[in-house]
Amino acid sequence: MPRRATRSAPAALPQDAAAGGLPPAATAAPPRAEPPVAPPAPPEHPHANLDRAVRAAVARFTGGVSPHAFTEAWADWALHLARAPGRQLELAEHAQANAMKLAAYLAAGDAKAPPPFEPRAYDHRFAHEAWARFPFRAWQQGFLAVQDWWDAATAPLRGLEQKDADRTRFMARQALDMVSPSNFPLTNPEILAATVRARGRNLIEGWANFTRDVVRTVTQQHEPPSGDLAPGRALACTPGKVVFRNALMELIQYAPATGTVRPEPILIVPAWIMKYYILDLSPENSMVKYLVDQGFTVFMISWVNPGADMADTALEDYRTEGVMAALEVVTAIVPDRKVHAVGYCLGGTMLAIAAATMARDGDDRLASITLLAAQVDFLEAGELLLFLDESQVAFLEDMMWDQGYLDRPQMARAFAAIRAEDLIWTRGVRRYLLGEADLPTDIGVWNADSTRMPARMHSEYLRGLFLENRLTAGRFAVEGRVIALKDIGAPMFVVATESDHIAPWRSVYKAQLFTDCDLTFVLTKGGHNGGILSEPGHKGRHYRISHRPAGAKYVGPAGWIDAHDPLPGSWWPAWSRWLDGLSGAPVAPPAMGATARGLPPLDDAPGRYVHMP
């Protein structure tokens, strides 16, 4: 049975009466007027819970995806294409051209000739050299030719909603990925060779892997990291102490590694969608260890893994009981010093909200703000936004209303679908048909160690930020009053990654559009996680960097990237120099915790919350 009745809109995110937010006069200067209070929603009929229960059951079957988003997109695309004879002729000619290219290539019989169709740069399904031999190259090129045609068929069409065009392209790609010749033993030369070499044992081992994964998925089993690659051993092993704990987070203070430290401490706010130790993986790629070795005092928030009992935890709780509570502890342990605040992914978005609120209220405790792959504007939030509409949010809300949270597999499927070629199909081939076990890596262990999301918080986040984009629209209210990012006066260091599918770099770049403070922007090679974990010595890395003085005119992303050439190496040293330039002369390290102020060390790092299943 459902756990709770329908809740009204959260107080932390009130909706302004006017669609455009407060009138200009009310937002010109502080104090800002409180937004008008919307009339309370009429109570739902008791039978509404029956509707929600049915939708929740359907959501469990579909993995939390609303069928309406699929049907609406395909219907919109098909109807517009049906009344566009010119586009139909164009697609017919495109199909004919692809067929002619394919036929000419295969008829030539020259394996060294350049193929007419190439897989995408990130598509490694056809990397094996045997794909260049007949008949495998025929199957590969035929698949890529069809894929190329569907890319053309789902291109923007006059009158067609851009979101529906993007949705149909995404769904067509997902459907084609299912029938790729790389997925089947008889059409994949690598599988055939492995089967002959292992005399079929690879298929037996693959079937065993498949059975275990099915059982684990059906029973919702979660296997915590074990062995050497477990938090506190080879991972998350930078020495430190838990100096504070509440119901939402633990605060870790890391032990100094140098005789003196910069007087201003660093507070890191990680995302709560995964465990914090992405920033403290192995010693060689740990951002925490790097900062400590550079002579900084570092504090890290470790979020709790919420259960159904935390279903009513709000987005505002993550600000007050998370960021602000941690800031209070840091300034108690290191008094009379400002704090360098760092936010990663969702943690960066929350840090931006907290910083704008502090600026509005005259709180100047931040020495600087660093945002790592974090968005403040969600209009161009990438493929995660494709199926996010009112129907989808309501669908997720009903599923969370039933179980109290968004579960780990439901989040993991959404992220995996964005890069299905590698994260679903390539992994499936290697695990189920080649019989290979997943090699344990630090980032692989972390990636599997996901967390749940409280129902109320996730609903508020999706509606207030992703769906309605209130933060940059002047309609995001904290404690009854709107906040504005342009109020932030502390220097900012914003990092985006070139191939980020979760926080696209042009979306992260918009921090320059909505702030007026001194801002350094970095665009680095890599994806959402790999680009941030770009330690010195990492081969093949480069980055672009720029400085915008406070009050300077805005430059768009296209103009910016043309004006800044890539620099070889890691961006971490540039960030360290930037932090050093905003810090005072070195001093003796602070004590671990502050026992006299009621903040004694509680546990050794990484603490208790990181081990929660």
Q: What CATH number is attached to the domain comprising 373?
A: 3.40.50.1820
Coil/strand/helix, residue 278: helix
Q: If we measure between CA atoms, which residue out of 31, 35, 47 comes closest to residue 9?
A: 35
- Please state, for a pLDDT cut of 90, what percent of the chain lies above it: 58
Q: Residues 458, 550: one domain?
A: yes
Q: Residues 192, 249: one domain?
A: no
Is the pLDDT at 63 greater than 90? The verdict is: no
Is the pLDDT at 294 greater than 90? The verdict is: yes
Least confident of 54-63, 71-80, 158-167: 54-63
Q: Determine how many CB atoms are found less than 10 A away from the CB of residue 514.
A: 18
Q: Which residue has the higher pLDDT, 397 or 415?
A: 397
The model's pLDDT over 245-271, given as tens digits with 9 standing for 90+, comes to 999 999 999 999 999 999 999 999 999
Is the pLDDT at 22 greater than 50? The verdict is: no
Residue 310 DSSP label: G
The answer to whether residue 555 is domain-embedded is yes
Is the pLDDT at 26 greater than 50? The verdict is: no
pLDDT range class, residue 43, cuts 50, 70, 90: low
Residue 546 bridge partners (DSSP): 521
Q: Residues 193, 262: one domain?
A: no
Q: Note the pTM of the prediction, 2 decimals.
A: 0.83
- Tracing tokens 């931006």 back to the chain, one arrives at 352
Q: If we measure between CA atoms, which residue out of 183, 94, 108 comes closest to residue 140?
A: 183
What is the pLDDT of the chain when averaged over all its residues? 85
Is the pLDDT at 165 greater than 70? The verdict is: yes
* Run of H or E including 453: strand 453-454
The answer to whether residue 164 is domain-embedded is yes
The answer to whether residue 42 is domain-embedded is no
Residue 597 DSSP label: G
pLDDT range class, residue 223, cuts 50, 70, 90: low
Output the pLDDT for position 13.
37
The answer to whether residue 148 is domain-embedded is yes
Q: Residues 257, 162: one domain?
A: no
Strand order in the sheet with 298-303: 567-568, 542-548, 519-524, 492-497, 366-372, 339-344, 266-269, 298-303, 249-254, 240-245, 603-604
Q: Are strands 477-478 and 481-482 parallel, antiparallel or unpaired?
A: antiparallel
Q: Which of 145, 169, 199 is the last residue of a domain?
A: 199
Q: Which of 146, 169, 199 is the last residue of a domain?
A: 199
Least confident of 11-20, 130-139, 261-270, 532-541: 11-20
The model's pLDDT over 561-588, given as tens digits with 9 standing for 90+, comes to 999 999 999 999 999 999 999 999 999 9
Instruction: For the chain, give the number of residues.
Output: 613
Q: Residues 344, 283: one domain?
A: yes
Q: Residues 369, 289: one domain?
A: yes
Output the pLDDT for position 470.
94
The model's pLDDT over 459-487, given as tens digits with 9 standing for 90+, comes to 888 888 988 899 999 999 999 999 999 99
Q: Are strands 405-406 and 339-344 parallel, antiparallel or unpaired?
A: unpaired
The answer to whether residue 347 is domain-embedded is yes
Residue 594 DSSP label: B
d(CA 190, CA 435): 12
Give whole-number Cα distances, 503 to 163, 164, 506, 581, in Å. 17, 20, 8, 28
CB 210 within 8 A of CB 432: yes
CB 421 within 8 A of CB 123: yes
pLDDT range class, residue 221, cuts 50, 70, 90: low
Q: Residues 244, 195: one domain?
A: no
Is the pLDDT at 107 greater than 50? The verdict is: yes
Output the pLDDT for position 10.
36
Q: Residues 593, 499: one domain?
A: yes
Q: Residues 164, 271: one domain?
A: no
Coil/strand/helix, residue 218: helix
* Run of H or E including 371: strand 366-372
The model's pLDDT over 489-537, given as tens digits with 9 standing for 90+, comes to 999 999 999 998 889 999 999 999 999 999 999 999 999 999 999 999 9
Is the pLDDT at 199 greater than 80? The verdict is: yes
CB 201 within 8 A of CB 207: no
Is the pLDDT at 311 greater than 70? The verdict is: yes
Output the pLDDT for position 422.
59
The model's pLDDT over 425-442, given as tens digits with 9 standing for 90+, comes to 777 888 888 888 777 788
d(CA 119, CA 125): 9
Mean of pLDDT values over 101-127:
86
pLDDT range class, residue 109, cuts 50, 70, 90: confident
Q: Of the listed 243, 249, 341, 345, which one is catalytic? A: 345
Domain count, the chain: 2
345 is catalytic: yes
Q: Which residue has the higher pLDDT, 228 or 78?
A: 78
Q: Residues 261, 353: one domain?
A: yes
The model's pLDDT over 441-454, given as tens digits with 9 standing for 90+, comes to 888 888 878 788 88
Q: Residues 469, 582: one domain?
A: yes
pLDDT range class, residue 390, cuts 50, 70, 90: confident
Coil/strand/helix, residue 339: strand
pLDDT range class, residue 595, cuts 50, 70, 90: very high
* Domain assignment of residue 402, given as a range: 240-407+452-611
Q: If we measure between CA atoms, which residue out of 344, 411, 408 comes closest to residue 612?
A: 408
Tokens standing for residue 297: 């005092």
Output the pLDDT for position 562.
95
The answer to whether residue 324 is domain-embedded is yes
End-to-end CA distance of the chain: 24
**Exposure string over 129-151, b if 16+ CB within 10 A, otherwise e:** eebeeeebbebbbbbbbbbbbbe
Q: Residues 384, 254: one domain?
A: yes
Output the pLDDT for position 450.
79
Residue 499 DSSP label: T
CB 589 within 8 A of CB 267: no
The answer to whether residue 508 is domain-embedded is yes
Mean of pLDDT values over 300-329:
94
Tokens standing for residue 467: 């769906």
The answer to whether residue 145 is domain-embedded is yes
CA dihedral over 285, 287, 293, 299, signed as positive or negative: negative
Q: Which of 147, 180, 199 is the last residue of a domain?
A: 199
CA atoms within 13 A on the CB side of 86: 2
Q: Which residue has the higher pLDDT, 445 or 5?
A: 445
